Structure 1
Amino acid sequence: MKGSTAYTSIQKRGLHIGLLPEMAAAVNPTTPIHLDHDLEVFPEAGRRLTVAQYAEHVDDLAARLWAAGVRPDERVVIYKTANADHWMLAAAISRIGGVVVNLSPALDARTVGILIERVGRPTLLTDGTKLDLLADVPLADLTRRVLTSAGDRPGATSLAELAGAPRVKPVVRPIDEAAVITHTSGTTGIPKLVVHTPRTQGIRLVPQWRLLSLMRKKETVAIHVPFVHSRMVAAMSLALLKEYPVLLMRETDPAEVAETFLEHRPALIEALPNSLMEWEHLAEDPRAPFGSVKVFSSTFDAIHPGTMSKLLKASDRRGALFFQIYGQSEVGPAVGRAYFRRSAHKANGRCVGWAMPFGAARVRVVSRDGGRPTEHNPGRIEVAWPGLAKSYFGEQERYDSNRKGEWWGTGDVGYFTRLGCLHLLDREVDMVPGVRSSLEIEDVVLSKLDELTELVVVQGPNSEPVPVVCTVGDRPLDLGRWRAAVADFPQLADPVQLPQAELPRTATLKVQRLELARRFEKQLQERA
């Protein structure tokens, strides 16, 4: 089976991640998969695998899960320490017809308990560390059984004890039934559980398949996104089907990242915007850890032009580009655009792209007040295509309230330019009175002040726009330089400096703006 044949099969029958490793091994069993950390569930496996070995491990885990009592249609919540074995375990659950429910290891015990209850007595697959964290959650009442991938605990069944279990035949889920459930970032409260089907997952691969065609050679693809995220399904699937060597990364420390890139020399890096911001100073490393990169790719959130420019200039590859995708867990990739070395620094960071060809999503901007959506009167961004998530698990009414026929409301506001570029100005819930776009202010100021590692404009207790800043090494902000940089934004209140570690973030490292605003409101109440 060739990679293109496997891809065509997925478009017809849907994407079943439980079958994907076996399909990829049939295409090329020697395709390498490298890790920057050890697998907890297979600590003896090492950090260098072939796709054939990977498929064998998935089949082994599927047998152990079956021996533990997991059966088709059963929902299995995975909540464990961040590790590349998460995707391997998810594939094993899928392989025996189970429904994977991915929960981020960044979620706290209370939130996990609420989500487990919403799922309705699932099997919980966790590890000793996370099980200790859940000590006050009534798991005996909320779950059908508890399994551990690493670390034995009383009352839980260890997968290690089930080694050597008889292998079982794959079970293929119906194309339009739930297959993988992920969750939203939770920037506004308890995350929503997003239901993906084999059909919707397969459809989302279509526009991205063409993007990867830009890479003519079978060079290494480095993936640094949360292992629990729906984006991981697409990134891993595309790389394996294209027979690209894969580098699965967990570590975030810039020094370790530099060593990893120097060892593996990736041609494509997919990472979170905030991770790329944290790594951008590596562009000054004389060893050129980004020298081999042909394509930088990012989704989840808009990225600042200055970061893109620094990364592209650090590449030694001719025609290097940064491809940004705008989308959500509910919609997949909606629009995208490429940035190039000579022009990235001049790009308007609010222009998130154009509709992608080859059967991708349709996007429209709907008026909020009856007037035509424009730069000064932005409208609501909506998306329509067959790749939309099927529902919110346990919250169908909430899902239905956000969908109008085929159109899904993203919660973002923006407008289209005359050239058809979608400009994203803000999340509607994050809009601040008197500010056209908080994100635009952040782009401009970050481009002027290299000492800033983060800038977030949120609504203060008196509806004023409050800039929250973090600096390199948490050094005190130079107020003179700050005032010069924000001269065009007189509506801003005085800056509030926080240590980087104190910023409330989601699982995908987005800053929780509403939580910051609530903190300021609480501080005002305490002073009163």
Structure 2
Amino acid sequence: MGRAGIPFRKHPTSLGMLFDWHAEADRQTVACLDRPFDIAPDRGTLYTGSQLAELVQQFSAQLYAAGARRGDRVAILKDNHLDMALAAAAAARFGALPATISAVNSPEVHRALLARLDPAVLVISPGPLARAVEAGVELAGPRTRVVLLGERDEGTPESVLTRADLAGGPVPPAAPAGRDEPMLVMHSSGTTGVPKLVVHSAATMLGGIARMERIKFPVLASKHRDVAATSVSFAHGRIVSWLMGQFVLAPRKIVIISRHEPEVAERMLAEHRPTTLEACPNIFQRWEGLAVRRPELFRRVRLYVGTFDAVHPRTVRTFLTASRRPFPVWLQGWGQSEVGPVCFTLFTRGQMRGAADGSSVTSDIGWPSPGFNRVRVVDAETGRRVGRGRPGIMMVATKARCLDYLGESDRWREKVRGAWWNTGDIGELGRFGRLRLVDREVDIIPGTSGIELESVLLDRLPLVSDVTVLGVPGQLPVPVLSTEDGRLDPEEWRQAVRGLPELAEPRLIPFEEVPRTATWKVRRLELREKVLGDKSHIGTGRWT
């Protein structure tokens, strides 16, 4: 029993019922959007918990009217916004299997993913549909009903439905999938090619990955007075676990920044001053200039959260400095779509000030979550554990491990060794079990860490907005840099590389031309081809 004899409410065990669960809570959060939802473009940018649940039910009726049924697959391929999660919940609510797919992928990648998925219904934004038509790519087969989140134009195929065609139908009864049945499909980042389709159940997602989100950890958990802002890829499963935490803990507001341009962030942060702020590390990196120019937007932030990718010290230092809170912290998580968050660590202003030049304090990814995950570092060839301070493949044991790669089960089995999952990341085990991230195995640079080189170069070159160091077989590593004006002073470069392993001459590329995934990771193979003319790399890529 809770206070005053009120029974505790069980946490939801299905994405399909998550919004209904929150709508019944005594204390609800309010969602503030940077633009209207694509599934409800006329309903404004402010939603209560009850209104979110109502919208999920209404879209569930539209999916049902389009022909989706329990056990069917529903593809949600749309522009980045929180309504990807609402649309997924709408499908999961009556037992369909939703798959969220980012619109930033190419038409060819979309076709490959949809061929594996073979959905009964495809929900799509006008942009990716138009790009596919222009490229001559047929995304859906004859058995798939296509629902366009927008108006038809001259190039829209006649068979495509719109929301208006599906309005007014009854809401199907709630009948979510069982705890151990597939509940959600998301795709991996796809830095090395076509992404994998990662299958999770309610047990692995809400019972596994999201378990930590609802625990009231000091400093880390949202409080009722908090304003929690996020700017991530809403196609990623991270948003499901984040929503679980926010719905259970019910901060005053959740602020949704679906577009990552600094001017959009500036508008939203000025209107809703956050106390916690989460974004992909490279999005934070893109916002560094905003934090320097308008630090007052971040003055109330007590907690920054970086996920999805490595973060560089300059970025952490910039945002911690912008906060006016006495002891702001940066929470950095390391994990994967397949296993969820694995390790966490906290960075403070003092750590950032004390970081030695020539090293990257943010390569420290902390410890596995006690009681949730285990990590061991092994030799890539033998599978035997390596000693402390020696690099090896990081293996993870967790109850949150995904069920499969849809359409690529052999690839999934290649990564499984009993209870252990091969992450494909190279790491080192340090004192007291602390872990350090070195590189992805496919991106290794013998004798050094590309992540660390990138961090040091960003620290030493304040006018450089992005650095990627590419290992090249038989040659020196190639640094690829972006600057605001497209120029780099040769003397500044010579000073910046002093004391570092020898590097090739830097290549300059506009920031906007760096190929990125939905989570803003650099598509390194694509960047190699763009800058170097081929995709050769040193790592095997066996566990990508």
Q: Structure 1 length as normaliser, TM-score?
A: 0.93
Give 1:449's aligned residue.
461
- Check the 8 A contact 1:150/1:160 in 2, yes or no: no
Structure-1 separation of matches of 2:93 and 2:27: 19
What does residue 52 of structure 1 align with?
A: 50
Correspondence 1:151 to 2:158: no
- Relative distance call for 1:492 and 1:93 in structure 2 (3 A) is same
**In the TM superposition, what is the alpha-carbon distance from 1:237 to its structure 2 partner?**
1.9
What CA distance in whole angstroms lies between the structure 2 residues aligned with 1:374 and 1:479?
A: 41
In the alignment, the residues of structure 2 paired with residue 24 and residue 264 of structure 1 have an alpha-carbon distance, to the nearest angstrom, of: 22
Letter in 1 for 2:239: M
Partner of 1:498: 509
CA deviations over 1:49-71 (Å, ceiling 9, x no partner): 11111111111111121122110
Q: Contact (CA 8 Å) 1:116, 1:143: kept in 2 or not?
A: no
Q: Distance in 1 between matches of 2:376 and 2:88?
A: 34
2:358 paired residue number = none
- Structure 2 counterpart of 1:449, one-letter code: L
CA distance in 1, matches of 2:528, 2:418: 34
Structure 2 gap ranges (5+): 356-360, 537-544
Partner of residue 368 from structure 1, selected from 364, 376, 380? 380
Q: Does 1:227 align with 2:239?
A: no
Alpha-carbon distance in structure 1 between the residues aligned to 2:2 and 2:61: 27
Question: Quick check: 2:390–2:429 contact (8 Å CA) kept in 1?
Answer: no
Structure 1 position 349 matched with structure 2 position 362: yes
- Provide the rounded CA distance (Å) in 1 between the counterparts of 2:110 and 2:450: 31
In the alignment, structure 1 residue 169 sits paired with structure 2 residue 173: yes
Q: In the aligned structure 1, how far is the partner of 2:173 from the partner of 2:58?
A: 11
Q: CA deviation at 1:519?
A: 3.8
Write the distance in 1 (CA, Å) between the matches of 2:214 and 2:54: 26
* 1:2–1:278 Cα change, 3 Å: farther
What is the rounded CA distance, in whole Å, between the counterparts of 1:69 and 1:515 in structure 2?
A: 38
Instruction: Tell me the residue number matched to 1:85.
Output: 83
Is 2:492 the partner of 1:486? no
CA contact (8 A) 1:322 1:338 kept: yes
Does structure 1 residue 332 correspond to structure 2 residue 340? yes
Q: Structure 1: state its 5+ residue gaps.
A: none
CA RMSD of aligned residues (A): 2.3
1:315 counterpart residue number: 323
Evaluate the alpha carbon distance shift between residue 161 and residue 368 of structure 1 in structure 2; reply closer, same or farther with a 3 A threshold: closer
**Is structure 2 residue 450 aligned with structure 1 residue 438?**
yes
How far is 1:403 from its partner? 0.6
Kept in 2: contact 1:109–1:134 (CA 8 A):
yes
Q: In the aligned structure 2, how far is the partner of 1:200 from the partner of 1:228?
A: 17
CA distance in 1, matches of 2:147, 2:255: 28
Distance 1:211 1:328 in 2: 23
Instruction: Determine the structure 1 residue equivalent to 2:540.
Output: none
Equivalent AA in structure 2 for residue 146 of structure 1: V
Report Cα offsets for 1:102-157 as digits up to 9, x if no partner: 11111111111111111134321113332222222334536421112222342112
1:392 equivalent in alignment to 2:392: no
By how many angstroms is 1:521 displaced? 4.6
Quote how far apart the aligned CAs of 1:166 are: 1.4
The one-letter amino acid of 2:234's match is F
Does the 8 Å contact 1:27/1:243 carry over to 2? no
Question: Which residue matches 1:275?
Answer: 283
Which residue pairs with 2:441 in the alignment? Answer: 428
Give the Å deviation of 1:209. Answer: 2.8
What SS is found at the alignment partner of 2:432? coil
Distance 1:238 1:438, change over 3 A: same
AA in 2 matched with 1:113: R
Deviates more, 1:339-348 or 1:418-427: 339-348
Question: Structure 2: which amino acid aligns with 1:311?
Answer: F
What CA distance in whole angstroms lies between the structure 2 residues aligned with 1:2 and 1:95?
Answer: 28
Name the CA shift for 1:375/1:484 in 2 (closer, same or farther; >3 Å). farther
Q: 1:30 to 1:407 in 2, by over 3 A?
A: closer
**1:259 partner SS:** helix
The equivalent residue for 1:290 is 298
- Percent identity between the two aligned chains: 34
Matches of 1:227 and 1:477, distance apart in 2: 35
Aligned partner of residue 284 in structure 1, secondary structure: helix
| Alpha carbons 2:213, 2:244 under 8 Å: kept | no
Residues 445 and 139 (structure 1), Cα distance of their counterparts in 2 relative to 1, 3 Å cut:
closer
Give the match's secondary structure for 1:9: coil
Q: 1:204 aligns with which of 185, 198, 209?
A: 209
Paired residue secondary structure (1:179): strand
1:251 lines up with 2:262 in the alignment? no
Shift of 1:284: 2.4
Tell me, yes or no, if the aligned pair for 2:525 and 2:535 is still in contact at 8 Å: no
Cα displacement (A) at 1:173? 0.4
Residues 524 and 56 of structure 1: is their aligned pair in 2 closer, same or farther, counting only changes over 3 Å?
A: closer
Could you say what secondary structure the match of 1:34 adopts?
strand
Tell me how far 1:476 sits from its aligned partner: 0.7
C-alpha displacement at 1:163, in angstroms?
Answer: 2.0
2:487 is matched with which residue: 454, 476, 479? Answer: 476
Contact 1:461 1:517 in 2 (8 A): no
For residues 8 and 270 of structure 2, what CA distance do their matches in structure 1 show? 32
Q: 1:383 aligns with which of 382, 388, 396?
A: 396
Q: Is the 8 A contact 1:306 1:345 kept in 2?
A: no
Give the whole-Å Cα distance in 1 for the aligned partners of 2:535 and 2:229: 45
Shift of 1:40: 2.1
Taking the aligned partners of 2:8 and 2:100, their CA distance within structure 1 comes to 25
Change (3 A) 1:426 1:2: farther
Q: What is the alpha-carbon distance in structure 1 between the residues aligned to residue 487 and residue 426 of structure 2?
A: 34
What is the Cα deviation at residue 256 of structure 1?
2.7
Change in CA separation of 1:5 and 1:304 when aligned onto 2, cut-off 3 Å: farther
Tell me if the contact between 2:282 and 2:521 (Cα under 8 Å) persists in the aligned partners: yes
Contact residue 228 and residue 255 of structure 2 kept, 8 A? yes
Q: Distance in 1 between matches of 2:362 and 2:38?
A: 39
Change (3 A) 1:482 1:61: same
1:417 aligns with 2:425: no
The amino acid across from 1:475 in the alignment is G
C-alpha separation in 2, matches of 1:312 and 1:121? 44
Q: State the Cα distance separating 1:211 from its structure 2 match.
A: 6.2
Deviations 1:363-397 (A, max 9, x none): 11012366863576411001111101111001111
Is structure 2 residue 524 aligned with structure 1 residue 513?
yes
